[in-house]
């Protein structure tokens, strides 16, 4: 019977992965549980939604990543609860798993500010399926506009709205504008791609609140030069099948993407721990749960403050640093070393692309914008990908997009036809229907 | 008003694509209609199902392929009927399109010999969605076996059955055996990959009926050396959630793949044309429909004979040659040239891989097997891909698989978790359920 210390890590995002990597040669039985069979490189997920990258470019089978680590076991399963008394994790399959130490790294999901019914109209971007859903909706909107003789409906089909002016929203808006104006130029006969409208809606007075005013201003001007309309200072009050209402103004737009808010996974409820209003567990300085030194919460599920009182941002590097911290702490605990007492977040910088050839970068005193910033962004992201092959194929795809304005993954999948049904889990909405009574006969006259 | 001759091509597989390419600078309005937005390179689809290639590697947006051809228009739509009197094509959206010449290149679909209810248990391989469905089922079976303490259920989960011993069946069986024995070796703790069974079922007395007896024998021995059991001479009498019945024998197998039979798309019904028992339209020597010189049927939807009376096989090169023939005929008709009278099929050869490092090739008198044949197969397929980028990424993926036994697209997508629901259109079956009462607690003890 295996008498080793049992560590369970739930979630294999950046946090869980980093924690597991620090434990790969420790004399403990480590079990990694994830609902997915793959680790996902979320910072590039928007490029899958925008047909630039393939799903496989940014996802790796978790099992394979730990293939040679005999003390690490991978389980594909969904955790639905934790019994902190008996120290057991409950899986959706009905199975239970006992732990001595538990690390919760279950991330966050979209938050619709109490309007969950908006989700079907304005999908967010967290999983590979989210990305292919958004990709399908965007590409279908163009195809439907090509078939629709009604100018009003066509205008609504060619209006794309991104809700939320953080880095993801800015990256989506810039990339969709370039998709329309460059990649698709000359491919449609019923409309000109110059008719395409891309609207970025931000409730706050300015976009990119994580950046300096100057850089945000640059990004905004750059977006506008790409043809994106930036609407600031008014929140979205309604999302529906016809479009979005911003303040009092109704914008007819058949394709909406949600990049406005996230909330933590329900891990706080599993362990009945105090949480902030976004659902994040308020952890101790060493990232353990108050009263439970054997449970740690990291990444987007944890509420951690910086010395100045500001919250640690929900970014990949923060999750990674927390995972590494907890991994090192457990390694020290198991080997009798000195446990670090306090997690300190090191902010390496903020980066966001603006379209396919421009970016803004702020790393402390170092600020950079334009083509060179984009290059730096690209190199940094390639560096953090896993494995030579992904680095190679991602670089190749960017090269292609950059040089030829081509996108290598322009696929509408998971639906049979224009008249087919959307995949399970995605409700039918107006945008997915064939234009009623579309008369295309004049086309071939 | 455009007074040009109106050509409609339905279906953008190998046949439709080739026909359209021949018409790209003719003074006629060509409309290409497909249910999908992409042309698919079907000969490599099995590699998507087997996690070797990514979906985007073998699919290209049709609209982009004809971007610079102003006389060719692309429509994403589903044809549901043809009015041969009024010369109109009916789309599922309710729209109609008039033609002067119609080319039907709508391909084929799986045939279950009157047992359509088998489809949910034994999916076939025709579309990108089919490939990702089969990929998901295979990868999930391994994940579930890892969680299941019951040896009988585990045995059923680790038994993979391919029904049909043609090239696709042989390629699938060989590749799945190598996936299990090489790529996945050492990644699971509850079972050894040597427990995996791959069974190839063929009703006829031998596999690969399109090849010589000698080459088929070689392929069979090679498959057996990879660990595939080849069951010959008995048809499948039942497919169900628990497995497959071959003759009288019940084989418990939770993952079945159908590669046994195809039938033509319903084009013959649309035009009320005489069809053979597989639903293929019996066309004239020039591939036109009897009594309708303005309608052509090509590819898997057409029944064409070779001079010796044998049917032209349902292969990509045959569809391509027919598309080119009809394109040339129309070009001659429109420009006042001499129309070719009779389509003659040139059989370039038969190729099939046996696992990832072996193949059989027969090109007339030239026969080749083994590593060199595999290399020839690879070069031929790379050559026929579209565009430098795909050639590059496919070659790279093969290189990776060949050298490191890694697979770059091992993704379980379109389901939320083990306990989640399968995507729309795919019925729940036993294999998709979490193992009931699976107790994994001893794992971490």
Q: Is the pLDDT of residue B433 over 80?
A: no
Between A and B, how many CB-CB pairs are < 8 A?
A: 240
- Select the residue from A128, A417, A437, A439 to test the B interface by mutation, using most B Cβ atoms within 10 A: A417
Minimal CA separation from A358 to chain B, in Å: 24
CA distance B399 to A230: 46
By the 10 Å C-beta count (0-12 exposed, 13-18 middle, 19+ buried), A242 is classed as middle
- Residue A387 pLDDT class (50, 70, 90 cuts): confident
Structural tokens at position A110: 């979209």
Q: For the segment A66-114, what is each residue's pLDDT rounded down to a tens digit?
A: 988 889 999 999 999 999 999 999 999 999 999 999 999 999 999 998 9
Nearby residues of A177 by Cβ (< 8 Å), 6 or more positions away: A196, A198, A223, A226, A227, A228, A355
By the 10 Å C-beta count (0-12 exposed, 13-18 middle, 19+ buried), B308 is classed as exposed
ipTM of the complex: 0.86
Nearby residues of B93 by Cβ (< 8 Å), 6 or more positions away: A147, A418, A419, A434, A435, A438, B77, B78
Determine the pLDDT at residue B174: 96
pLDDT, chain A, mean: 90
Minimal CA separation from A247 to chain B, in Å: 35
Q: Higher confidence at residue A308 or residue A46? A: A46
CA distance B38 to A408: 12
Element (H, E) at A372: helix A371-384
**Cβ neighbours of A324 (radius 10 Å):** 19
**Same fold? B5-35+77-110+262-335, B116-260+356-432:** yes
What ranges make up the beta strands (E) of A316-378?
Answer: 350-353, 359-363, 366-370
Q: Nearest by CB to B63, which of A187, A436, A444?
A: A187
Q: Which residues of A279-311 are buried (b: 16+ CB within 10 A; e: fewer)?
A: bbbbbbeebbbeebebbbbbbbbbbbeeeeeee
CA distance A217 to A215: 5
What's the gap between Cα B444 and its chain centre? 43
Residue B48 in contact with partner chain A when CB distance is under 8 A = no
Min mean pLDDT across A149-158, A434-443, B57-66 is at A434-443
Tell me the torsion sign for CA atoms B433, B438, B443, B445. positive
* Chain B residues close to A444, C-beta within 8 Å: 2, 6, 8, 29, 31, 73, 97-99
Question: CA nearest A95: which of B150, B221, B21?
Answer: B150
What length is written for chain A? 445
Determine the pLDDT at residue A441: 34
Could you write out the DSSP letters of every residue in B399-432?
HHHHHH---TT----S-SSTTSPPPTTS---GGG
- Residue A437 pLDDT class (50, 70, 90 cuts): very low
Q: What is the mean pLDDT of residues B191-212?
A: 96
Determine the pLDDT at residue A79: 97
Q: For the segment B255-309, what is each residue's pLDDT rounded down to a tens digit?
A: 999 999 889 999 999 999 999 999 999 999 999 999 999 999 999 999 999 888 8
Q: Is the pLDDT of residue B250 over 80?
A: yes
User: Is residue A199 a contact partner of residue A70, using CB atoms and an 8 Å limit?
Assistant: no
Question: CA nearest A341: which of A352, A353, A349, A333?
Answer: A333
* Chain B residues close to A435, C-beta within 8 Å: 93
Nearby residues of A187 by Cβ (< 8 Å), 6 or more positions away: B63, B64, B67, B74
Q: From the CA atom positions of chain B, what is the Rg in Å?
A: 23
Tell me the CATH number for domain A5-110+262-335.
3.50.50.60
Question: Where are chain B's structural domains?
Answer: 5-35+77-110+262-335, 116-260+356-432
Min mean pLDDT across A29-43, A160-174, A414-428 is at A414-428
Nearby residues of A404 by Cβ (< 8 Å), 6 or more positions away: none
Contact B54 A59 (CB under 8 A): no
Tokens 């703790």, residue? B189
Residue B118 in contact with partner chain A when CB distance is under 8 A = no
- Residue B70 pLDDT class (50, 70, 90 cuts): confident
Most confident of A301-305, B2-6, B433-437: A301-305
What length is written for chain B? 445
Q: What is the mean pLDDT of residues A407-417?
A: 72
* Helices B14-22/B316-335 angle, 10° precision: 30
Exactly one of B88, B143, B146, B171 is catalytic; name it.
Answer: B171
Minimal CA separation from B444 to chain A, in Å: 6
- Residue B393 pLDDT class (50, 70, 90 cuts): confident
Q: What is the mean pLDDT of residues A121-131?
A: 95
Residue A146 in contact with partner chain B when CB distance is under 8 A = yes
Q: Is the pLDDT of residue B438 over 60?
A: no
- For A413, the 3-state DSSP assignment is coil
- Residue B73 pLDDT class (50, 70, 90 cuts): very high
Q: What is the mean pLDDT of residues B56-75?
A: 92
- Distances, alpha carbon A107 to alpha carbons A15, A104, A298, A300, in Å: 9, 9, 8, 5
Structural tokens at position A92: 């959706």
DSSP secondary structure letter of residue A57: G
Contact B438 A409 (CB under 8 A): no
B102: phi then psi, degrees, rounded to nearest 5: -120, 130
Contact A37 B129 (CB under 8 A): no
Residue A439 in contact with partner chain B when CB distance is under 8 A = yes
Minimal CA separation from B131 to chain A, in Å: 11
Q: Is the pLDDT of residue A442 over 50?
A: no
Tell me the torsion sign for CA atoms A277, A279, A282, A287. negative
**Nearest C-alpha in B relative to A184:** B64
Determine the pLDDT at residue B368: 96
Structural tokens at position B135: 């990929």
- Residue B46 pLDDT class (50, 70, 90 cuts): very high
Contact B434 A129 (CB under 8 A): no
Interface of A with B in 410-429 (CB under 8 A): 410-414, 416-425
DSSP secondary structure letter of residue A179: I
CA distance A49 to A133: 8
Q: Is the pLDDT of residue A323 over 60?
A: yes
pTM above 0.95, yes or no: no
Q: What is the mean pLDDT of residues B154-167?
A: 97
Structural tokens at position A32: 């990694």
Tokens 């066309």, residue? B283
CA distance A415 to A433: 12
Min mean pLDDT across B232-236, B305-309, B317-321, B424-428 is at B424-428
Tokens 């989700």, residue? A119
Q: How far apart are the first and last CA of chain A?
A: 79
**Nearest C-alpha in B relative to A78:** B417
Q: Higher confidence at residue A223 or residue A261? A: A223
Determine the pLDDT at residue B442: 31
Q: What is the mean pLDDT of residues B35-61?
A: 94
Interface of B with A in 151-210 (CB under 8 A): 186-189
Q: Nearest by CB to A421, which of B2, B68, B424?
A: B424
Q: For the segment B89-112, what is each residue's pLDDT rounded down to a tens digit?
A: 999 999 999 999 999 999 999 999
Q: Is the pLDDT of residue A373 over 60?
A: yes
CA distance B137 to B126: 16
Q: Which residues of B219-228 are buried (b: 16+ CB within 10 A; e: fewer)?
A: bbebbeebbb
Nearby residues of A332 by Cβ (< 8 Å), 6 or more positions away: A338, A339, A340
What's the gap between Cα B63 and its chain centre? 22
CA distance B11 to B29: 16
DSSP secondary structure letter of residue A164: -
Determine the pLDDT at residue B415: 60
Q: Is the pLDDT of residue B369 over 80?
A: yes
Q: How far apart are the first and last CA of chain B?
A: 79
Q: What percent of chain A has pLDDT over 90?
A: 80
Determine the pLDDT at residue A330: 97
Q: Is the pLDDT of residue A282 over 90?
A: yes
Determine the pLDDT at residue B437: 35
Tell me the CATH number for domain B5-35+77-110+262-335.
3.50.50.60
Query: Strand pairing of A101-104 and A5-10?
Result: parallel
User: Is residue B26 a contact partner of residue B99, using CB atoms and an 8 Å limit?
Assistant: no
- Distances, alpha carbon B235 to alpha carbons B40, B199, B200, B208, B213, in Å: 30, 13, 11, 15, 20
Contact B97 A444 (CB under 8 A): yes
CA distance A317 to B441: 33
| CB-facing half-sphere around the CA of B203: CA atoms within 13 A | 13
Contact A418 B78 (CB under 8 A): yes
User: Is residue A367 a contact partner of residue A46, using CB atoms and an 8 Å limit?
Assistant: no
- Residue B416 pLDDT class (50, 70, 90 cuts): very low
Determine the pLDDT at residue B282: 96
* Chain A residues close to B147, C-beta within 8 Å: 75-77, 93, 95
Tokens 């070659």, residue? B395
CA distance B316 to A86: 61
DSSP secondary structure letter of residue A434: P
Nearby residues of B114 by Cβ (< 8 Å), 6 or more positions away: none
* Helices B388-404/A388-404 angle, 10° precision: 180
Question: CA nearest A331: which of A1, A3, A5?
Answer: A5
User: Is residue B36 a contact partner of residue B65, using CB atoms and an 8 Å limit?
Assistant: no
Query: Strand pairing of A228-232 and A197-202?
Result: parallel
Structural tokens at position A308: 């100045």
User: Is residue A278 a contact partner of residue A300, using CB atoms and an 8 Å limit?
Assistant: no
**What is B116-260+356-432's CATH number, 3.40.50.2300, 3.40.50.200, 3.40.50.1100, 3.50.50.100?**
3.50.50.100
B301: left (phi over 0), alpha (psi -120 to 50) or beta: alpha
- Residue B441 pLDDT class (50, 70, 90 cuts): very low
**Nearest C-alpha in B relative to A427:** B424
- Select the residue from A41, A88, A93, A184 to test the B interface by mutation, using most B Cβ atoms within 10 A: A93
**Nearest C-alpha in A relative to B412:** A37
- For B155, the 3-state DSSP assignment is helix
DSSP secondary structure letter of residue B189: S
Give the CATH class of A141-259+356-432.
Answer: alpha beta
Q: Is the pLDDT of residue B420 over 60?
A: no
Determine the pLDDT at residue A2: 66
């Amino acid at each position: 019977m295996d008498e080793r210390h049992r560590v369970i890590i739930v979630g294999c995002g950046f946090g869980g992965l980093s924690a597991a990597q620090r434990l790969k040669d420790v004399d403990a039985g480590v079990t990694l549980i994830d609902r997915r069979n793959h680790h996902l490189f979320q910072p590039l997920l928007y490029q899958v939604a925008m047909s630039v990258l393939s799903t496989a470019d940014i996802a790796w089978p978790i099992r394979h990543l730990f293939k040679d680590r005999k003390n690490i076991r991978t389980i594909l399963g969904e955790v639905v609860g934790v019994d902190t008394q008996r120290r057991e994790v409950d899986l959706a399959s009905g199975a239970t798993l006992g732990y001595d130490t538990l690390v919760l790294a279950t991330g966050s999901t979209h938050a619709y500010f109490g309007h969950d019914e908006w989700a079907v109209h304005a999908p967010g971007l967290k999983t590979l399926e989210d990305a292919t859903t958004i990709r399908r909706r965007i590409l279908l909107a163009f195809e439907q506009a090509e078939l629709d003789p009604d100018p009003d409906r066509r205008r609504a089909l060619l209006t794309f709205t991104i809700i939320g002016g953080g880095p993801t929203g800015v990256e989506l808006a810039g990339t969709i504008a370039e998709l329309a104006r460059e990649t698709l130029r000359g491919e449609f006969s019923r409309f000109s791609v110059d008719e395409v409208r891309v609207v970025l809606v931000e409730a706050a007075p300015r976009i990119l609140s994580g950046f300096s005013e100057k850089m945000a201003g640059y990004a905004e001007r750059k977006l506008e030069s790409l043809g994106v309309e930036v609407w600031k200072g008014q929140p979205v009050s309604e999302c529906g099948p016809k479009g979005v209402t911003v303040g009092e103004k109704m914008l007819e737009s058949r394709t909406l993407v949600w990049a406005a808010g996230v909330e933590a996974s329900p891990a706080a409820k599993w362990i009945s721990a105090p949480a902030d209003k976004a659902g994040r567990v308020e952890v101790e300085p060493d990232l353990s749960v108050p009263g439970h030194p054997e449970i740690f919460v990291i990444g987007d599920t944890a509420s951690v403050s910086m010395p100045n009182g500001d919250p640690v941002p929900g970014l990949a590097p923060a999750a990674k640093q927390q995972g590494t911290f907890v991994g090192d702490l457990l390694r020290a605990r198991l080997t009798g070393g000195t446990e670090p007492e306090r997690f300190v977040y090191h902010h390496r910088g903020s980066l966001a692309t603006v379209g396919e050839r421009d970016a803004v970068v702020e790393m402390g005193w170092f600020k950079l914008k334009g083509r060179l910033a984009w290059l730096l962004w690209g190199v940094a992201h390639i560096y953090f990908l896993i494995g030579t092959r992904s680095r190679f194929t991602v670089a190749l795809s960017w090269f292609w997009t950059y040089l030829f304005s081509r996108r290598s993954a322009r696929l509408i999948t998971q639906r049979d036809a224009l008249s087919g049904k959307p995949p399970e889990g995605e409700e039918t909405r107006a945008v997915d229907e064939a234009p009623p009574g579309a008369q295309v006969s004049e086309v071939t006259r």
